[in-house]
Structure 1
Amino acid sequence: MVKHLRSAPDTAGLTEIHRTAYRPWGGYSSVLSGERFQVKRLFVKPGKKLSLQKHHHRAEHWIVVRGTAEVSVDGTVTTLSENQSIYLPLGCVHRLANPGKIELELIEVQTGSYLGEDDIIRIEDEFGRA
């Protein structure tokens, strides 16, 4: 089956990864990536938030799986619950926070010309990375 998927033209460029990276706010696992997309599972500890940031080469779509997400996009704050989602256009200034008492879990779908972790322009960060 794997040999067939690797040789089929429509799936040959896909990569499945299940590595988990831990950060002060929680972490993420890369689930699937292709030429112009990447899917990650993010988990954010209660009371923690990610950097206020933007990207030059990618847009993102966040889908809440569990918990409550507080999302800031270009200064507008939105609260999302389970099964709700938000689109983050390329270049927007955004931040994800978990205001709840349980771990926030979401799926992040990235699309764009470059999806490397070095395409994060941190504007503000409570962990001293900006």
Structure 2
Amino acid sequence: MAEVTYKRGDADNRPWGRWEVLDTGEGFAVKRITVNPGAILSLQLHHHRSEHWTIVAGKARVTRGEEKLDLGFGQHVHLPVETAHRIENIGDTPVIFIEVQYGEKLDENDIVRLEDKYGRAPA
């Protein structure tokens, strides 16, 4: 049985923007994530979940492993378990994307930060 610790309505402000949980169910969670202009999330990976991101506003640069992908409205990317990834806002307006997480364990503790502009990665 999957462990999902997120609840609908959970939200958090981060140095790069904000996330909020839109829905959860058996083995999945759906978040709306807003990335401020010029901001970038940590380069990270997850041991217990995959993610699928769909851009709904703005212009983003996504790192997936060794790839760099420039994405805009309606474009999407799949991020497998254990794959290093990040998103950066390369435009003048907020990037908004929908993140669907799925896996056996869905919570904020399954974030392994590899690099972080805001000092949250291990030294």
Normalised to the residue count of structure 1, the TM-score between the two structures is 0.86
The one-letter code of the counterpart of 1:17 is R
Of Structure 1 and Structure 2, the greater strand share is in 2
1-side partners of 2:64 and 2:109: how far apart? 20
Give the aligned partner of residue 68 of structure 1.
59
Q: CA deviation at 1:16?
A: 6.1
Task: For structure 2, list consecutive stretches of 5 or more residues without a partner in the other structure.
Answer: 1-5
> Percent identical across equivalent pairs?
44
Tell me: CA distance 1:79–1:34, structure 2 relative to 1, closer, same or farther (3 Å): same
Higher relative contact order (CA 8 A, sep 6+): 2
Tell me: CA distance 1:32–1:126, structure 2 relative to 1, closer, same or farther (3 Å): same
Of Structure 1 and Structure 2, the greater helix share is in 1
Give the aligned partner of residue 100 of structure 2.
109
Give the aligned partner of residue 99 of structure 1.
90
2-side partners of 1:90 and 1:23: how far apart? 23
2-side partners of 1:19 and 1:103: how far apart? 20
Moved over 6 A (4+): none
**What is the Cα-based RMSD across aligned positions, in Å?**
1.1
Give the aligned partner of residue 36 of structure 1.
27
Q: CA deviation at 1:34?
A: 1.1
For these two proteins, the number of residue pairs brought into alignment is 116
